[in-house]
Structure 1
Amino acid sequence: MSDFSEAGFARFGEQAKHLGFDEVLKRRWDPGVFLDTHTHSFAVQALVVEGSMWLDLNGKSQELGPGSRFEVDHELPHAERYGPDGAVFWVARRNRHP
């Protein structure tokens, strides 16, 4: 069972920074939001803590709910769709690239 408390968020951040991620934040998306194919200048590692979303990545669509983790490398095309209750996830970003 995942710990979605503030202490859990702090641990998520500590683990992410240990893995080389330099920014950790909480993201909230409204119900039904669709983000068409796009890229980011940073790599992402995230944990869904509320609601649901679909991530379209590498030609596959994956439904994600509380406790689901996902990663998206920088400049990797992907699309996002948020469920009827929206979604909240914790995200670690790696803004520096080797």
Structure 2
Amino acid sequence: MTRDEFELEMRAAGFTAFTEVSREADGHLDTHSHPFEARALILAGEIRIESDGLSRRYGPGDIFHLAAGAPHSEDYGPAGVHYLAARR
């Protein structure tokens, strides 16, 4: 999915806030949550998200989804990660 396709699909689904996020190589965020629902398109690098006891890796072109309030942790690949997040 391209960036433009992602934005169009997210807007159609009611997402109105978009932000680009970059995280450092081999970084980590401990378990936390957000007060908003998020879907994100990975533009470069990779991220591993652990939530509900499951761990999943996302790379370029993949989309991840986090419900509002969902506890999760994040680990970033050797090149870090850069993604476009849609929030509502």
Q: What per-residue deviation string (whole Å, max 9, x for no partner) do you get for residues 25-53 of structure 1?
A: 21111101101000000000111110111
Runs of 5+ consecutive residues of structure 2 not aligned to the other structure: none
Check if 1:74 corresponds to 2:68: yes
Deviation at 1:12, TM superposition (A): 2.1
- Matched residue, 2:7: 13
Correspondence for 1:6: none
Shift of 1:18: 1.1
Give the ranges of 4+ consecutive aligned residues of structure 1 lying more than 6 Å apart after TM superposition: none
The aligned residue for residue 80 of structure 2 is 86
In terms of Rg, which structure is larger?
Answer: 1
1:61 is aligned to 55
Instruction: Give the letter aligned to residue 22 of structure 1.
Output: T
SS in 1 for 2:5: helix
Deviation per residue, 1:42-83 (Å, 9 max, x gap): 000111110111000110111111111110000010000101
Structure 1: stretches of 5+ with no match in the other structure: 4-8
1:11 offset after TM fit, Å? 3.4
Matched, 1:45 2:39: yes
AA at the equivalent of 1:23: A
CA shift, 1:14, in A, is 2.4
- TM-score of the superposed pair, with normalisation by structure 2: 0.92
Question: What TM-score comes out, normalization by structure 1 length?
Answer: 0.83
Give the % identical residues. 32
How large is the RMSD of aligned CA atoms in angstroms?
1.1
